Amino acid sequence: MVVLQVVVTGGAGQIAYSLIPLIARGLVFGPATRVHLRLLDIPPAAQALEAIVMEIQDSLFPTALEGVLGTTDEVRAFEGAQVAILLGGFPRKPGMERGQLMAKNVGIMKRMGQLLERHASRDCKALVVANPAATNCLVLAANAPSLPRKNFSFLSRLDHERMVGMLLEKANSVLAAGTASHAVRSERLRPADVRGLCIWGNHSDSQVPDASSVEFCLNGNWVPAQTILGDSPWLKLQDANAVAGAGGGDYLSEAVRNRGAVILAARKLSSAMSAANATAAHLGDWLCSPPTGKTVSMGVFSDGNPFGVPEGLVCSFPVQCGDLSGANRGGWNFDSDFRLTEDVSRQLAVSVAELEEEREMAFSILNG
Q: Which residues bind ligand NAX (CB under 6 A)?
A: 9-10, 12-15, 40-42, 45, 87-91, 108, 129-131, 133, 155, 158, 203, 270-272, 275
Phi, psi of 128 (to 5 degrees): -95, 125
For CA atoms 121, 125, 129, 132, the dihedral sign is positive
Residue closer to ligand NAX by CB (options 6, 45) is 45
Q: What is the DSSP string of 284-305?
A: IIIIIPPP---EEEEEEE-SS-
- Residue 1 contacts by C-beta under 8 Å, 6 or more apart in sequence? 34
Is the Cβ–Cβ distance between 37 and 19 less than 8 Å?
no
Question: Coil, strand, or helix at residue 55?
Answer: helix
Report in angstroms how near the CB of residue 278 gets to ligand NAX at its nearest: 7
First vs last C-alpha separation in the chain: 47
The interaxial angle of helices 98-119 and 133-142, nearest 10 deg, is: 40
Angstrom distance (rounded) from CA 158 to CA 162: 6
Angstrom distance (rounded) from CA 293 to CA 25: 26
Residues 43, 90, 14: CA angle, nearest 5 degrees: 75
Report in angstroms how near the CB of residue 180 gets to ligand NAX at its nearest: 32
Q: What is the DSSP string of 190-212?
A: -GGGEES-EEEB-SSTT-EEE-T
Is the Cβ–Cβ distance between 322 and 291 less than 8 Å?
yes
Residue closer to ligand NAX by CB (options 260, 322) is 260
Is the Cβ–Cβ distance between 199 and 156 less than 8 Å?
yes
Report in angstroms how near the CB of residue 252 gets to ligand NAX at its nearest: 18
Angstrom distance (rounded) from CA 99 to CA 60: 44
Residue closer to ligand NAX by CB (options 34, 104) is 104
Residue closer to ligand NAX by CB (options 8, 35) is 8
Residue closer to ligand NAX by CB (options 151, 279) is 279
- Residue 308 contacts by C-beta under 8 Å, 6 or more apart in sequence? none
Report in angstroms how near the CB of residue 224 gets to ligand NAX at its nearest: 28
Report in angstroms how near the CB of residue 290 gets to ligand NAX at its nearest: 26
Report in angstroms how near the CB of residue 259 gets to ligand NAX at its nearest: 10
Q: Report which DSSP code applies to 155.
A: -
Report in angstroms how near the CB of residue 207 gets to ligand NAX at its nearest: 10
Is the Cβ–Cβ distance between 294 and 177 less than 8 Å?
no
Angstrom distance (rounded) from CA 121 to CA 147: 9
Catalytic residue among 36, 119, 160, 203: 203
Residue closer to ligand NAX by CB (options 92, 185) is 92
Q: Could you confirm whether 203 is annotated as catalytic?
A: yes
Residue closer to ligand NAX by CB (options 14, 226) is 14
Active site residues: 203
